[in-house]
Amino acid sequence: MGLSTALYTGVSGLNANGTDLSVIGNDLANTNTVGYKGGRASFADILSSSAGGGSTMSVGRGVNLQAVTTQFTQGTLQTTSNALDLAIEGDGFFIVRETTGAQYYTRAGQYKLDKSGDIVNPEGLNLQGYLTQQGGVLGTINVSSLNSPPLKTANVTVSANLNSATAVNDPTTATTFTLNSANNQVVINGTTYTLGAGTYSGSGLAAAFNAVVPAGVATMSYTGNDAAPSAANEYKFKITNTSGAGLPVNLSSVNFTAASMLGFPGVDYTIPAAGTYSSLFRQSGFDPLNATNTSDFSTSITVYDSLGNSHLINVYFRKVEQGGLLINPSGASTTGNRWLYWAVVPQTDSTVPAPPNNRLQVGGAGYLEFDTAGKLVFDSNGTSEYTSFNFLGGVTQAQSIAFNFGQSLLAGGSGLSGTTQFGNPNSVLFQNQDGYTAGSLQSLLVDQNGAMTGVFTNGQTSKVADVALARFIAPTELTKSGRNLYNESSKSGSAIIGTASTSGRGRIFANSLEASNVDIAEAFVKMIAAQRGFQANTKVISATDELLQELENIKR
C-alpha cells in the first residue's frame, strides 16, 4: 500500500511541476505581448491518511495545483509614435466593447481609428469613454463627425509705429467745399434733393443744404471756424431729424460725395426720431475709393465671417493734427499728434453696391492720439457711425468688428501699450484677430487624466471624451479571456468605473505602451526549479518501481 502511494505521489509531483513549467513557458512566450501580466502557479499538499490519529503520523499523498494567479505588477512604459497608443501607470483597466455589447477589460493600449471613426484595439473592440458632446455619458469614442465650427471675427488688435515725421494733412487755412453737377445731390427718405452748385464754406454748405431740404424733414448744422480751422474747432457737420419718425438718409447714393468731403460715412443710415447723424472727424481728404493716394500708411489683416470665409480688410492711417491742445472723450489732453484710421473692405467683397452709386465700404473707423513722447494716450476704438461690415457669401450681415490699437490705460496713466508714434518708418509690429475658419480633425491628444482632445486644421482644439478606466477590488480574480482581455467575475467584484487619476485609478500616458511585466531572469530561475522538481519526482517513481520489483522477486 505504502509503495503504491509513493508511486502516485511522484506522479502528482510530475503533474504539478509540469504545470509550473507550462505557466513559466506561457509567460516567456508573452514577454513581448503589450500589457501582458505574468502568472504564478500555487500548489498545496494532499493528505490521504493519518496513522494512529495524530498529526505527527500524517502521511502525504503528493501535491495538487491550488491556483494560477495573475501578477498585476507594473510593466515598463515604452514610447511609441502613435498618439493613440495608451499606457496606464498604476491601477486600472481600459474598457472595450464588442459590437454585440460584451464588455471586457484590458491593460493593452494599442488603439487606432477604424473606417467608422471609432477608436478600436487590434481586435476591433471599441474603446469606452465619457463622451463630451453627449453630456458625459459612457460610450464608444467616435470622432467621425467631429469638426470645429467657424467663429466670426469680433476683435482686431494692431500694434504699429506711425512715423512722427509724416506731414500733417489737416487744413490750416479756411477750407471751402465745391459742389457741381457731379456731387450736389442727396437722397433723404427716397427723395432726391439737388443743392445749388458753387463753392461754400462749412457754414455755407450747411445753409445750402437747409435751403433745399424742408425744415420739417431734416436740418444740417456746422460746428467749426470757417476762417481759422484748428484742433479746438474741428469741422463737424450734423444732420438732425425733424420729421418725428425714423428718417433714412443717404449722402452718396446719387452724387453727394459726403464721406470724403464732409466726414460722413457713405452708407444708408436711418436717423431715429429726434436723433442726429454726425460726421466723424475734421475733414481730412481721405477717400476710401482712392485710399492708397489719400492715406499715409496702411496694413492688411484677414478676418472671418459667420460661415468661416476669409476676407481681407485694409486699415488706412492718416495724420491730421500736430501740436495744439487735443481733447478726447476721456477728458485727457495732450500736445502730441492725432491720426485717423479707416478699416475698409474691397467693394468686390461687400454687399454694399459699388460705384456709380459711390457707396463706401468703410466698416470701422476711429482716431489715435499720442503725447510728445510718442506714447498712445487715446484710442477711440471706433465710432457709432462705422460699426460693421457686410460681406458677400450669404453670411450674417452687419458684422461688428472692434479695432484695438492699445486701448487699455496703463496703471498710473503713463500711456498705452501697443501702437507708438516715434521717428521711425511706418511699420506693423504685431496684429491679431480672434476669428477662424471651420476646421476638420487633424489629430488627437490624450493627457495624463485621460482627457482626449481633438486638434483641428484651423488651429483650434476641442475636448472629445475622457477615457474611462475600471478598477477592481480583487483584480487577481478576473477571468482571462485571451486576446489580452479580462472578464469580470464574482470573486473580482464589480468594476468601479471613472476617469484616470481619480479614486485610486492610475494615470494615462499617450504615445506609450505598457510592456509585459515578465522578468525573464526570474522566469529562468523558476524554470530551473520546476525542472529539478520534475526530475526529483521521476527519481521517486523509478525508486518505487525498483522496490516493487524486489517484492516480486521475493516469491521466486
pLDDT along the chain (556 residues), means of 10: 77 92 96 96 80 62 91 97 97 96 97 97 97 95 94 94 87 69 83 89 90 93 71 67 87 64 66 79 64 90 96 92 63 75 86 53 80 84 66 92 70 58 94 95 96 96 97 96 95 96 97 97 95 92 85 76
pLDDT at 411 (0 to 100): 37
Q: Which three cell numbers stand for residue 8?
A: 502516485
What does the alpha-carbon distance between residue 262 and residue 221 come to, in Å, rounded to a whole number? 12
Whole-angstrom distance, CA of residue 462 vs CA of residue 218: 53
Residues 268 and 181 reside in one and the same domain: yes
Please give the pLDDT value at position 364: 80
Are 188 and 112 in a shared domain?
Answer: no
With CA atoms as reference, report the closest residue to 146 among 128, 138, 154, 134. Answer: 134
| Residues 144 and 192 grouped into a single domain | no
- The CA-atom distances, in angstroms, between 158 and each of 184, 349, 386 are 37, 22, 18
Asked, for residue 346, whether it belongs to a domain, the answer is no
Judge whether 166 lies within some domain.
Answer: no
Q: Residue 327: inside a domain, yes or no? A: no
pLDDT, tens digit (0-9, with 9 covering 90-100), for 107-157 = 999 999 999 999 999 999 999 999 999 999 999 999 999 999 999 999 999
- Exposed / middle / buried, residue 529 (Cβ in 10 Å: 0-12, 13-18, 19+): middle
pLDDT at 359: 46
Whether residues 503 and 455 share a domain: the answer is yes
* Dist. CA 32–CA 23, nearest whole Å: 16
Strand partners, 499: 468
Burial of 34 by CB count in 10 Å (0-12 exposed, 13-18 middle, 19+ buried)? buried
Cis bond before residue 356 (omega within 30° of 0)? yes
Q: Is the pTM of this model over 0.85?
A: no
| Structural domain range at position 142 | 77-149+440-514
Residues 458 and 549 in one domain: no
Distance CA 276, CA 224 (A): 17
What's the pLDDT score for residue 349?
87
Q: How many domains, in total, are found in the chain?
A: 3
Residue ending a domain, choose from 283, 318, 342: 283
Q: Is 60 in the same domain as 34?
A: yes
SS3 325: coil
Question: In terms of C-beta density within 10 A (0-12 exposed, 13-18 middle, 19 or more buried), how is residue 333 classed?
Answer: middle
The pLDDT of residue 357? 41
What pLDDT does residue 416 have? 47
Rounded distance between C-alpha atoms, residue 353 and residue 349, angstroms: 10
How many Cα atoms are found within 13 Å in the side-chain-facing hemisphere of 225?
Answer: 10
Backbone angle region of 397, left / alpha / beta, with phi > 0 → left and psi within -120 to 50 → alpha: beta
Q: Which of 213, 248, 283 finishes a domain?
A: 283
Three-state SS at 400? strand
- Co-location of 224 and 133 in the same domain: no
Residue 9 shares a structural domain with residue 47: yes
Please, are residues 438 and 148 in contact by the beta-carbon 8 Å criterion? yes
Determine the pLDDT at residue 60.
Answer: 78
Residues 29 and 68 in one domain: yes
Listed in sequence order, the residues at least 6 apart from 79 whose beta carbon sits closer than 8 Å to its beta carbon are 511, 512
Helix (H) or strand (E) holding 41: strand 39-50
pLDDT tens figures, 32-67? 999 999 999 999 988 766 555 555 666 778 899 999
Tell me: do 201 and 213 sit in the same domain: yes
Contact indicator for 241, 219 with CB cutoff of 8 Å: no
Three-state secondary-structure class, residue 551: helix
Mapped onto helix, strand or coil, the DSSP state of residue 7 is helix
| Residue 413 covered by a domain | no
In a domain, 136, yes or no: yes
Both 30 and 54 in one domain: the answer is yes
Burial class (CB within 10 angstroms; exposed 0-12, middle 13-18, buried 19+) of 2: exposed
Helix, strand or coil, per DSSP, at residue 553: helix
Question: In the prediction, which pLDDT does 453 show?
Answer: 97
**Is residue 347 situated within a structural domain?**
no
Measured N-to-C along each axis, helices 520-554 and 2-29 cross at an angle, to the nearest 10 degrees, of: 160
**Separation between Cα atoms, residue 93 and residue 478, nearest integer Å:** 11
Last residue of a domain, one of 250, 283, 316: 283
* Co-location of 183 and 108 in the same domain: no
Residue 247 in any domain: the answer is yes
Where b means 16+ CB within 10 Å and e means fewer, 452-484 reads bebbbebebebebbbbbbbbbeebebbeeeeeb
Q: Helix, strand or coil for residue 32?
A: coil
Pairing of strands 155-161, 402-404: parallel
> What span, in angstroms and rounded, lies between the C-alpha atoms of 310 and 436?
8
C-alpha to C-alpha distance for 103 and 374, rounded to whole angstroms: 69
